[in-house]
Structure 1
Amino acid sequence: MEPRILERVQSHVRDYARAAGASLFTRAQGSMLADACGRQYIDFSSAAGALNYGHDNPLLMQMLRRQLREQGSSSDAARALDRFRDAITSYLFRPRGWEYQIHYTGTTAAASVEAALKVARRATGRQNVVSFTRCDAVARRGPSTCEGAPRQAVWAARTGVGNTLFMPYDGSFGPDVDTMAYLERQLDTQWRHSERPAAVVVETVLGEGGIDVLSWRWLRDLEALCRRHGMLLIMDETIVGCGRTGRFFSFEASGVRADMIALSRSLSGFGLPVSLLLSRPDLPIVQYHAPVADENAGLALLTAEQVLEAYWADDSFAVHVRRKERLLRDWLENLAQGYAHLGLGVRGRGLIQGLVTPAPMGIATEIAGKALGCGLVTLTTGMHDEVLKILPALTIDEDLLVQGLEVLDRSVAEVLESR
Structure 2
Amino acid sequence: MSQTDMNIFETLESEVRSYCRSFPTVFTKAKGYKMWDEDGKEYIDFFSGAGALNYGHNDPKLKAKLIEYIQNDGITHSLDKATTAKGAFIKSFNDVILKPRKLDYKIMFPGPTGTNTVESALKLARKVTGRTDVISFTNGFHGMTIGSLSVTGNASKRKGAGIPLQNTVTMPYDNFVNEDSNTLQYLERFLEDNGSGVDIPAAMIVETVQGEGGINVARFEWLRKLESICKRWGILLIIDDVQAGVGRTGTFFSFEEAGITPDIVCLSKSLSGYGVPFAITLFRPDLDVWSPGEHNGTFRGNNHAFVTATAALDYWKDDSFEKEIKKKSKMTLDFLKEIADKYPELKGEVRGRGLMVGIACGEEELASKVAAEAFTRGLIMETSGPKDEVFKLFPPVNIDEEGLKKGFEIIEESVKSLVKEAVTN
TM-score over 0.5 for the pair: yes
Matched, 1:44 2:49: no
Pick from 22, 29, 46 the counterpart of residue 24 of structure 2. 22
Query: Displacement of 1:192 after TM fit?
Result: 7.9
Matches of residues 335-350 of structure 1 in structure 2 within 5 Å?
335-340=339-344, 342-350=346-354
Inter-CA distance 320–14: structure 2 relative to 1 (3 Å threshold): farther
Q: Superposed, which structure 2 residues align to 1:14-93 within 5 Å?
A: 14-19=17-22, 22-68=24-70, 72-75=73-76, 77=78, 78-79=82-83, 80-93=85-98
Matched letter for residue 164 of structure 1: T
Contact 2:139-2:386 within 8 A present in 1 as well: no
Give the 3-state SS of the residue equivalent to 1:161 in structure 2: coil
Which of residues 260, 268, 272 in structure 2 aligns to 1:256? 260
SS at match of 1:401: helix
Partner of 1:147 in structure 2? none
Structure 1: gaps spanning 5 or more residues: 136-159
Runs of 4+ in 1 over 4 A off after TM superposition: 8-14, 66-69, 190-194, 290-294
8 A Cα contact 2:382 2:392, kept in partner: yes
Give the residue type in structure 1 aligned to 2:376.
G
Give unpaired runs (5+ residues) of structure 2: 141-163
Matches within 5 A, 1:11-410: 12=15, 14-19=17-22, 22-68=24-70, 72-75=73-76, 77=78, 78-79=82-83, 80-134=85-139, 161-189=165-193, 195-286=199-290, 287-289=294-296, 292=299, 297-308=302-313, 310-340=314-344, 342-359=346-363, 361-410=364-413
Paired residue for 2:152?
A: none
Contact 1:10 1:17 in 2 (8 A): no
- Cα gap change, 1:363/1:54 in structure 2, threshold over 3 Å: closer, same or farther? same
Q: Report the CA distance between 1:326 and its aligned residue.
A: 0.4
Q: Would you say the 8 A contact 2:174–2:183 is kept in 1?
A: yes
State the shift of 1:12 in Å: 4.8
Give 1:252 deviation, angstroms: 0.6
Q: Could you tell me how far 1:187 is from its partner in structure 2?
A: 1.0
Deviation at 1:188, TM superposition (A): 1.1
**Aligned 8 A contact 2:367 2:391 in 1:** yes
How far apart in 2 are the matches of 1:38 and 1:11? 27
* C-alpha displacement of 1:63: 2.9
Mapped partners of 1:376, 1:68: distance in 2: 33
What's the CA shift for 1:409? Answer: 0.6
Query: Does the Cα contact within 8 Å between 1:213 and 1:347 map onto a contact in 2?
Result: yes
Whether 1:411 aligns to 2:414 is: yes
**Counterparts of 1:293 and 1:247, CA distance in 2:** 26
* CA deviations over 1:288-311 (Å, ceiling 9, x no partner): 3156597xx111122111111x21
TM-score of the pair, normalised by structure 1: 0.88
Change (3 A) 1:381 1:10: farther
Partners of 1:232 and 1:328 lie apart in 2 by: 35
Which deviates further from its counterpart, 380-389 or 9-18? 9-18
Partner SS, residue 387 of structure 2: coil
Does the 8 Å CA contact 1:12/1:18 hold for their aligned counterparts? no
Equivalent pair of 1:126/1:194 in contact (CA under 8 Å): no
- 2:239–2:265 contact (8 Å) kept in structure 1: yes
State the distance in 2 between where 1:91 and 1:42 align. 31
Deviation of 1:161 (Å): 2.6
SS in 1 for 2:392: strand
Question: Does the C-alpha gap of structure 1 residues 292 and 340 become closer, same or farther in structure 2, counting only changes over 3 Å?
Answer: closer
In the superposition, the TM-score normalised over structure 2's length comes to 0.87
> SS at 1:365's partner residue?
helix
| SS of residue in 1 equivalent to 2:217 | coil
Cα separation, 1, equivalents of 2:417 and 2:311: 43
Identity %: 41
Cα distance in 1 for residues equivalent to 2:398 and 2:374: 21
Tell me the number of residue pairs that the alignment of Structure 1 and Structure 2 aligns: 389
